[in-house]
Amino acid sequence: MFKKIFFISLLAGLLVFSFGCKNYQKVLKSGNNDLKYETGLDLYEKGDYNKALQFFDILRAVYRGTEKGENLTYLTAQCYYNTHDYQIASYYYKQYIQMYPRGDKAEECAYQSAYCNYLSSPIYSLDQTNTYTALSELQQFIDMYPKSPKVAEANELMDKLRAKLELKDFNIAKLYYRMRSYQAANTSFENLLDDYPDTDFKEEIYYYMVKTNFEYAQKSIYSKQKERYEKTIESYNSLKYLFPDSKYLKELKDINEEAKQHLK
């Protein structure tokens, strides 16, 4: 008896589903744009974003420049955002801003476009194109909407993105050092201090600068050694001044003394 009821319920569900699919396809192929619009909205509200997009893709050009067209462009972006396709979502958020710069959703779309690029930003070791795009768009958002309640959040996101770039640059500089590309390493470490004056890696940077300059000096021609030993001592003194209790000072003390000997 139970199996019979279950089978009947399953069959009824399949029939309803089949009817719904046929009805959905029938509306999609019809010439009634108002019905398509309402069907698309209904699908969106139900969270069926992929089906909703089929209606929105057909109708955006039909209603371009109208209130419905504005809503369709926004909802298209929202569909892609809700399905985690952030790059395409960002594209449609930008399209909304370009087509409807005075629209009710312009501020939201400006933020969402930047946020999508933030979400698309990969781990620090990979290409950071999306990171730079997100930083640029977040700054544009802050400049355009300085009184927006989202400004504080935008600044927090920018800090996180900069931290990622900082970590990437620090690891690149260390890689140059390990590869014994001392000139590139030294330039990279100096750039880190210029680009990120409040970096949390400052103590380590000076540690590597001492070692980089010293090893670079040892491998240099005689006429270049004096300048590089001087930079070794300068880096050591900076480390000692800024971090008098640094764990690295003991290791670097002998290097500093040897560099001094070379200058006598």
The candidate with the shortest Cα–Cα distance to 105, out of 72, 130, 60, is: 72
103 DSSP 8-state letter: S
Tens of pLDDT, residue by residue over 206-243, are: 999 999 999 999 998 888 889 999 999 999 999 999 99
Domain endpoint, select from 133, 168, 203: 168
pLDDT of 16 over the 80 cut: no
Looking up residue 208, the CATH number of its domain turns out to be 1.20.58
Question: Does residue 10 form part of some domain?
Answer: no
71 and 162 inside one domain: yes
The 10s digit of each residue's pLDDT in 164-219 is 999 999 999 999 999 999 999 999 999 999 999 999 999 999 999 999 999 999 99
| Domain identity same for 42 and 159 | yes
Domain-ending residue, one of 143, 168, 193 = 168
Yes or no: say if 239 and 211 are a contact pair by the CB < 8 Å rule: no
Q: Do the domain assignments include residue 216?
A: yes
- Give the C-alpha separation, 182 to 146, whole Å: 44
Domain containing residue 70 = 32-168
- Give the C-alpha separation, 171 to 135, whole Å: 21
Asked whether residue 210 is assigned to any structural domain, the reply reads: yes
Kindly state whether residues 141 and 191 are assigned to the same domain: no
Domain assignment present for residue 134? The answer is yes
SS3 219: coil
Identify whether residues 82 and 198 lie together within a single domain. no
Backbone angles phi, psi at 101, to 5 degrees: -60, -20
Does 24 reside within a domain? no
Model confidence at 10: pLDDT above 70 = no
Question: If DSSP codes are grouped into helix, strand and coil, which group holds residue 193?
Answer: helix
User: 38 and 151 share a domain?
Assistant: yes
Q: Work out how many domains the chain is built from and give that number.
A: 2
Asked if residue 239 lies in contact with residue 210, where contact means CB atoms within 8 angstroms, the answer is yes
CATH label of the domain that carries residue 75: 1.25.40.10
Q: Are residues 154 and 36 in the same domain?
A: yes
Same domain? For 163 and 37 the reply is: yes
User: Among 168, 191, 216, where does a domain finish?
Assistant: 168
pLDDT tens string 74-118: 999 999 999 999 999 999 999 999 999 999 999 999 999 999 999
- Structure token digits, residue 217: 């000096």
Any domain includes 128? yes
Alpha helices in the chain (DSSP H): 2-29, 33-45, 49-62, 67-82, 86-99, 106-120, 129-144, 151-178, 182-195, 202-218, 222-242, 249-262
Cα 169–chain centre separation: 16
Predicted TM-score (pTM) of this structure? 0.82
Q: Do 128 and 201 fall into the same domain?
A: no
Pair 196, 248 in one domain: yes
Provide the mean pLDDT of the chain.
Answer: 90
Q: Which two tokens stand for residue 132?
A: 């730079």
Give the whole-angstrom CA distance, residue 16 versus residue 11: 9
pLDDT, residue 9, reads 43
Same domain, 208 and 263: yes
> The tokens 């070791």 sit on which residue?
125
